Amino acid sequence: MKKTVSLLVFVAMAVCANAQAVIEFAKTKHDFGSIKETGGDVSHVFTFKNTGQTPLVINNVETSCGCTSPAWTKEPVQPGKSGTVTATFNPSGRPGFFEKKLTVKTNASEIPLTISGNVEAKVLTVEEQYPFAIDKLRMKSGTLEMYRVPAMGNKTENLEFINTGTTPIVVNFENVPEHISLVAEPVSIPAGTKGTVKCTYNALKKKDFGTTVDEITVRVKDSKNTLKIRANIEEDFSKLTPAELEKAPVLKADNTNYKFNTIKKGSKVTGKFEITNEGKTDLIIRKISSECNCIKATVGDMSIKPGKTTVLQLELTANETGSKFYATTIITNAPKQRETVFYMNGTVE
3-state secondary structure 304-334: ECCCCEEEEEEEEECCCCEEEEEEEEEEECC
Residues 79, 345: Cα–Cα separation, whole Å: 53
17-120 folds as Immunoglobulin-like (2.60.40)
User: pTM for the whole thing?
Assistant: 0.67
The predicted-structure confidence for 252-299, as pLDDT tens digits, reads as follows: 999 999 999 899 999 999 999 999 999 999 999 999 999 899 999 999
Residue 69 DSSP SS3: strand
Q: Do domains 17-120 and 247-348 have the same CATH topology?
A: yes
- Under 8 Å between Cβ of 228 and 217: no
Per domain, the residue ranges of the chain are: 17-120, 126-234, 247-348
Closest C-alpha among 72, 62, 66, 71 to residue 103: 62
Closest C-alpha among 133, 146, 132 to residue 200: 146
Query: Pairing relation of β-strands 257-263 and 210-220?
Result: unpaired
The predicted-structure confidence for 142-190, as pLDDT tens digits, reads as follows: 999 999 999 999 999 999 999 999 999 999 999 999 999 999 999 999 9
Residues 93, 91: Cα–Cα separation, whole Å: 6
The CATH number assigned to the domain with range 247-348 reads 2.60.40.10
pLDDT of residue 309: 97
Q: How deeply is 251 buried, as exposed, middle or buried, from its count of CB atoms within 10 A (0-12, 13-18, 19+)? A: buried
Q: Is pLDDT of 139 > 80?
A: yes
> What is the average pLDDT score of the chain?
93
126-234 folds as Immunoglobulin-like (2.60.40)
Alpha helix segments (H runs only) across 22-146 = 126-129
Ranges of beta strands (E only) in 39-136 are 42-50, 58-63, 68-72, 82-89, 96-106, 110-120, 132-134
